[in-house]
């Protein structure tokens, strides 16, 4: 007989948040339903990806974990998967999301909400300067002494950008602004797609004492689009190197801001002590650019560019109340990032005393993952191609567990898109086959579904070695589009501020939602934010 899992109530979670005790409140639905409604500090960990993501995102096995869904039947099996992975303090949220709502808990929409709400609070307290899209356009048209700095990731910037804008991801702004605008009279405009990174980026420059006049582009590229103005696409303007004297000046400014925010200091000698401390989770982040991280980084640190770390705390550090240790090679990015995280209520430390020799690892870091619970049978691309070409119709079915965006971009001809969290429902929609082949990008996720698929179908189940990437490398044909969707595309929430084809109504509704976040924070009461 299956033992019932323990329950935690809304009040249990609320008290942990107020006391700043470590807790991971996990929403195990797909990203789109999560984005429609969830508690402020809930982190999205889709049930179908637990094996791939849990160990990296929740590194301490005795973390207090509370799991919920909204009646889809995902929470209980997800909690049991977490237990099988070694987590010892896993409970279900009593009543799920509806229980939270019924108990009086505030419900939030969208993704990265703690950061977005904090950004709105910063603007309301500090009255962060901003200019409307029409004002910025007039400055550019008149060839005024203006530089536009885009605080988003480079790939977002390339998708759409303000004409003349330069890509300077958020944590790089204080380091590089003086080089890009050496004349103190030059006006600096900071933009993102919506509001948060514009506000935080602008206020970072203000807090650091940059002498230039600085303003956010009010409402970012959304505001630009709503004003009827044209965006650039495919731009590639990036920041340049910083002279040593300007780097040293930026380091002093950033350290002063971090000290005002109450950021704590650590040395490499503290790291083993942190790791050994019972009952404490320590995340270690390198907040430089991904390119710099790949060239060389500190052992045990993960890449989390500072601007995105502030923007996506719920993704990078789902354990609220954990300790964060930040590192870079000059102190600027780490101290500025830490200054914001400290204001967001995190126990944040900057690692001092590192040398160039300490950045001894290179390349990307691989996240630890468990082995599948049962044996896995494998096949290669060539036999699969023969089966699909020569076997009778309906003999072999290919199930692709990649993201829906990747599936639409390219997949094996005839493959079905399937969400692992909805495997049973998907199988019921797919014509029965004698053999099922599982794949995804690399088949790392697909292998975890093999035992469940065999149990559901009673048929032969094999996993494609190397996944769809191996199929592509073999030069085999591909298909595009939503050709066979056995699951809905709920794995990705379409942000109203991304892309260039969103309805104007959706963009305006998003801005209206952001404007209301400060009031929601007040009703929720658990945030612990402060603004220096």
Contact between 427 and 514 (Cβ < 8 Å):
no
Contact between 46 and 30 (Cβ < 8 Å):
yes
Coil, helix or strand at residue 469: helix
How far apart (Å, rounded) are the C-alpha atoms in residues 168 and 332? 14
Residues 6+ apart with CB under 8 A from 202: 128, 129, 130, 190, 214, 215, 216
Judge whether residue 527 has pLDDT over 70.
yes
How far apart (Å, rounded) are the C-alpha atoms in residues 152 and 307? 8
Enter the tokens of residue 327. 């590192």
How confident is the prediction for the chain on average, in pLDDT?
95
Mean pLDDT lowest among 17-26, 98-107, 199-208, 490-499: 490-499
Contact between 189 and 220 (Cβ < 8 Å):
no
Backbone angles phi, psi at 34, to 5 degrees: -60, -45
Contact between 526 and 118 (Cβ < 8 Å):
no
Q: Which pLDDT value is given to residue 90?
A: 98
Q: Which pLDDT value is given to residue 3?
A: 87
Residues 6+ apart with CB under 8 A from 462: 377, 378, 379, 435, 436, 437, 438, 450
Tens digits of per-residue pLDDT, 279-314? 999 999 999 999 999 999 999 999 999 999 999 999
Average pLDDT over residues 373-395: 91
- Tell whether the torsion through CA atoms of 156, 162, 167 and 168 is positive or negative: negative
Percent of the chain with pLDDT over 70: 99
Q: Which pLDDT value is given to residue 500?
A: 57
Average pLDDT over residues 53-81: 97
- Please give the distance of CA 351 from its chain centroid, rounded to a whole number: 23
Enter the tokens of residue 337. 């990032």
Q: Which pLDDT value is given to residue 276?
A: 94
Q: Which pLDDT value is given to residue 374?
A: 83
Tens digits of per-residue pLDDT, 434-446? 999 999 999 999 9
Structural domains of the chain ordered from first start: 7-111 (3.40.250.10), 120-239 (3.40.250.10), 261-358 (3.40.250.10), 378-473 (3.40.250.10)
Tens digits of per-residue pLDDT, 122-143? 999 999 999 999 999 999 999 9
pLDDT classification of 501: cutoffs 50, 70, 90: low
How far apart (Å, rounded) are the C-alpha atoms in residues 509 and 512? 5
pLDDT classification of 519: cutoffs 50, 70, 90: very high
Q: Which pLDDT value is given to residue 499?
A: 61
Percent of the chain with pLDDT over 90: 92
């Amino acid at each position: 007989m299956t033992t019932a899992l323990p329950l935690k109530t809304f009040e249990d979670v609320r008290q942990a948040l107020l006391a700043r005790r470590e807790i991971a409140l996990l929403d195990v639905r797909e990203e789109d339903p999560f984005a429609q409604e969830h508690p402020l500090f809930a982190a999205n960990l889709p049930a179908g990806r637990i094996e791939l993501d849990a160990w990296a995102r929740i590194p301490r096995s005795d973390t207090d974990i509370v799991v919920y869904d909204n009646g889809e039947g995902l929470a209980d099996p997800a909690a049991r998967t977490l237990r099988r992975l070694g987590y010892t303090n896993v409970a279900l949220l009593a009543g799920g999301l509806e229980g939270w709502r019924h108990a009086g808990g505030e419900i939030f929409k969208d993704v990265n909400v703690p950061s977005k709400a904090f950004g709105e609070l910063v603007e309301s307290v500090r009255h962060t300067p901003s200019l409307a899209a029409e004002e910025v356009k007039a400055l550019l048209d008149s060839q005024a002494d203006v530089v536009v700095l885009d605080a988003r990731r480079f790939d977002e910037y390339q998708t759409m950008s303000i004409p003349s804008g330069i890509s300077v991801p958020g944590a790089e702004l204080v380091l590089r602004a003086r080089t890009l605008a050496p004349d103190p009279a030059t006006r600096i405009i900071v933009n993102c797609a919506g509001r948060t990174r514009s506000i935080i980026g602008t206020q970072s420059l203000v807090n650091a004492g940059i002498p230039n006049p600085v303003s956010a582009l009010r409402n970012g590229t959304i505001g630009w689009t709503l004003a009827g103005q044209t965006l650039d696409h495919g731009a590639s303007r990036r920041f340049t190197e910083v002279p040593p004297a300007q780097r040293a000046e930026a380091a002093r400014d950033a350290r002063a801001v971090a000290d005002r925010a109450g950021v704590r200091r650590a040395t490499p000698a503290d790291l083993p002590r942190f790791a050994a401390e019972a009952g404490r989770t320590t995340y270690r982040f390198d907040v430089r650019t991904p390119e710099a991280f790949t060239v060389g980084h500190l052992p045990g640190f993960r890449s989390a560019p500072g601007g995105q770390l502030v923007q996506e705390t719920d993704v990078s550090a789902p354990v609220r109340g954990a300790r964060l240790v930040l590192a870079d090679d000059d102190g600027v990015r780490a101290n500025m990032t830490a200054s914001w995280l400290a204001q967001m209520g995190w126990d944040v430390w900057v690692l001092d005393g590192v040398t160039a020799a300490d950045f001894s690892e290179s390349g990307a870091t691989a996240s630890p993952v468990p082995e599948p619970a049962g044996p896995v049978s494998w096949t290669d691309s060539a036999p699969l191609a023969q089966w699909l070409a020569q076997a009778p119709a309906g003999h072999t079915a290919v199930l692709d567990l990649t993201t829906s965006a990747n599936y639409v971009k390219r997949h094996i001809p005839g493959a079905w898109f399937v969400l692992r969290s909805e495997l049973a429902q998907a199988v019921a929609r797919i014509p029965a086959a004698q053999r099922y082949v599982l794949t995804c990008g690399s088949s790392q996720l697909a292998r975890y579904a093999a035992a469940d698929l065999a149990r559901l179908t009673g048929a032969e189940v094999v996993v494609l070695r190397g996944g769809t990437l191996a199929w592509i490398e073999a030069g085999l044909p591909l298909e595009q589009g939503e050709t066979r969707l056995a699951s809905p595309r709920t794995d990705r929430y379409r942000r109203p501020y991304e892309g260039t084809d969103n309805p104007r109504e959706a963009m305006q509704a998003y801005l209206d939602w952001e404007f209301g976040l400060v009031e929601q924070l007040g009703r929720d009461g658990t945030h612990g934010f402060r603004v220096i």
